[in-house]
Amino acid sequence: MIGVVAESHEHPIVGEFFELFKTPWEFYERGRSYDVIVVTAGDVPHANARLMVVYGSDIKNIDSRSVAQCTRQRGGTLCDGEQHLPVYGNLLTFAKGSAGTPFLDTSSGMAGLTIDRDGSTIKRLGYDLFQEVRFLLSNGQPSEHAQIPTLDLHIGMLRRWILDAGVTLLEISPAPAGHHFAACLTHDIDFTGIRNHRCDHTMWGFLYRSTIGAVRNVVRRRISMTRLLKMWGAAVSLPLVYLKWTKDFWDPFDWYLRVDGELPSTYFLIPFRGRAGEHVSSSHPSRRAAAYDLADLSDRFAALNRAGCEIGVHGIDAWHSAGRGREERARVADVTGAAASGIRIHWLLRDGNTASVLDEAGYTYDATFGYNETIGFLNGTAQAFQPAGTRTLLALPLHIQDGALFYPHALDLSEPEARTRCDAVIGSVRRFGGVITVLWHDRSHGPERFWGEFYINLVRSLKALGAWFGTAAQVVEWFRQRRAVRFARAGDGAAASIRLRHRGPEITPPLNIRIYRPSSGRHAMTDLQWSGRSSLEVNTAGHLEDSRMWSVDPVGFPS
């Protein structure tokens, strides 16, 4: 059991952190025994614990005997072995001559000391963990740090320190039993066909990019001559598309239904035709208006439902108005005949109040948390999380977007370069768990983009790595069920054990209950699947006690 000592204003973010690092914890109570104590408050308690992790850029009451000299700065980069991660708040570095062994460096000095005292290990860190978590979940990382899963790295470091101290750790992994991670395929439907666009910016832009722009991309070695000829062929065929003598090559539904196959996916639909939205500060705000109407797609909804797909709201004004958010949700539900619980805001617009506005409007998740200009981890994590100021809304992070990879004003990558970037993001999610969310837009499979083959190979890679695929609503619901599990201490001292309880429907797919046991070499792990149908009790030695043992089935040991 971890005991946490934090200032009262930090309590909400402490709770959110331990929904992501799902392990038994409680706020510290004097007189109770703890294996680990995590401290960010000013006063560090005098308590016996095998490990005490003390965070903070302010001088603590334990520092007088340990620290020779300190220097405080704003932000920095931590070096944990070969891994580098940014610090966004205040950072305290310790001078040479301080007691203890340095284990965490920065360019300006030591940011972490290991101190052995009275049979306990103290890890003294020069930054406040929970202030970092608050910044990541509220502000997000700048794009230059997008490739770093900073919050997941903070969790990983704390986990490692606990195990290195010889403490057995129980954790509910952030991925379903039998899987390293989840995958969510999403499609923003901004266009349903080029027939809706005649002599407007969209049509002329298509013709330019298919002809002159295509030649430029051949010179830049972004596309092949084969693709150039395909683009020219599409441009020549445009009159036939308008005459309905040939298929509209921007029609997204048949292609994605065929390619995604049995994999469930989520389509975000714009609720109203011709609405560009209010308070749009980006250039050319009128181009945000959709040329299609939901009623024109009524024959598509049955096919999407049969394929197990989800229809969400591609919001226009919901990001700043709860009333508009309710109107947009009701419009999608009325036309499609299915409740729309989730949203992704068109152009990824949001501000500091958006999460609470969407929560008030009745949405259960927001899939807007990502970058337009790059790919990676805006909030430093691959897990769904609850934004501050919300009651039920969860944020579904967005990691890989087609436009961010290939647009000239974004990363502007070649396909081999894009694959390298994507593999790095997927590797991080596979390492830490969570969900990797992919956004491939409606017309990205066809001319003039022809990014369909890249998408096919990307999905194949996710399948080959054994990801669990779900719609956005299914993935968010799985994380919500994981968050609903509660830990309770049963007994104290050597006879202490942890009881897991879940009140709610059976969890599908089951949770992965992981028990880490420290060892001299690589830490041993035991994984068990649990669907929450009965209470589960684990004692400090890692043994299971369950009145219905057959509901707790062992699963494999992931590599």
- pLDDT, tens digit (0-9, with 9 covering 90-100), for 314-370: 999 999 999 999 999 999 999 998 889 999 999 999 999 999 999 999 999 999 999
Whether the Cβ atoms of residue 91 and residue 57 lie closer than 8 Å to each other: yes
3-state class (DSSP) for residue 347: helix
Whether 133 and 266 map to the same domain: the answer is no
Whether 298 and 168 map to the same domain: the answer is no
Whether 168 and 186 map to the same domain: the answer is no
Flag whether 18 is in a domain: yes
What is the per-residue pLDDT for 472?
Answer: 98
Whether 540 and 456 map to the same domain: the answer is no
* Cα–Cα distance, 508 to 155 (Å, whole number): 25
Low-confidence ranges of the chain (pLDDT < 70): 64-69, 97-98, 491-495, 520-522, 540-559
What is the per-residue pLDDT for 546?
Answer: 47
Task: Look up the CATH number of the domain holding residue 122.
Answer: 3.40.50.880
Domain-terminating residue out of 432, 459, 477: 477
Flag whether 244 is in a domain: no
Whether 275 and 353 map to the same domain: the answer is yes
* Strand runs labelled E in 56-129: 70-80, 83-94, 101-106, 109-117, 120-125
Cα dist from 247 to 373, 513, 528, whole Å: 32, 50, 51
Domain-terminating residue out of 477, 507, 527: 477
What is the per-residue pLDDT for 318?
Answer: 98
- Please enumerate in sequence order all residues whose Cβ is within 8 A of that of 229, keeping only pairs 6 or more positions apart, or say none: none
What is the span of the domain harbouring residue 274? Answer: 182-193+250-477
Task: Look up the CATH number of the domain holding residue 463.
Answer: 3.20.20.370
* Cα–Cα distance, 337 to 313 (Å, whole number): 13
Flag whether 245 is in a domain: no
What is the per-residue pLDDT for 65?
Answer: 65
Output phi, psi for 428, to 5 deg: -65, -40
- What does pTM read for this prediction? 0.93
Whether 130 and 232 map to the same domain: the answer is no
For the chain, what is the total number of helices (H) and then of strands (E)? Answer: 14, 26
Flag whether 316 is in a domain: yes
SS3 of the chain: helix, strand, coil, percent, to 5? 35, 25, 40
Whether 330 and 436 map to the same domain: the answer is yes
Domain-terminating residue out of 457, 477, 497: 477
What is the per-residue pLDDT for 358?
Answer: 98
What is the per-residue pLDDT for 232?
Answer: 92
Letter string b/e over residues 467-483, b meaning 16 or more CB atoms within 10 A of that residue's CB: bbbbbbbbbbbbbbbbb
Flag whether 76 is in a domain: yes
Q: Is the peptide bond before 448 cis (omega within 30 degrees of 0)?
A: yes
Flag whether 559 is in a domain: no
Whether 104 and 228 map to the same domain: the answer is no
* Cα–Cα distance, 313 to 319 (Å, whole number): 11
For residue 128, the one-letter residue type is D
Whether 313 and 384 map to the same domain: the answer is yes
* Cα–Cα distance, 279 to 212 (Å, whole number): 34
184: enclosing H helix or E strand: strand 182-189
- Please enumerate in sequence order all residues whose Cβ is within 8 A of that of 289, keeping only pairs 6 or more positions apart, or say none: 273, 274, 275, 276, 277
- Please enumerate in sequence order all residues whose Cβ is within 8 A of that of 438, keeping only pairs 6 or more positions apart, or say none: 183, 184, 185, 186, 399, 400, 401, 455, 458, 459, 462
Flag whether 102 is in a domain: yes
Percent of the chain with pLDDT over 90: 73
- Count of the separate structural domains present in the chain: 4
Whether 147 and 218 map to the same domain: the answer is no
Whether 414 and 502 map to the same domain: the answer is no
Whether 13 and 78 map to the same domain: the answer is yes
What is the per-residue pLDDT for 524?
Answer: 82
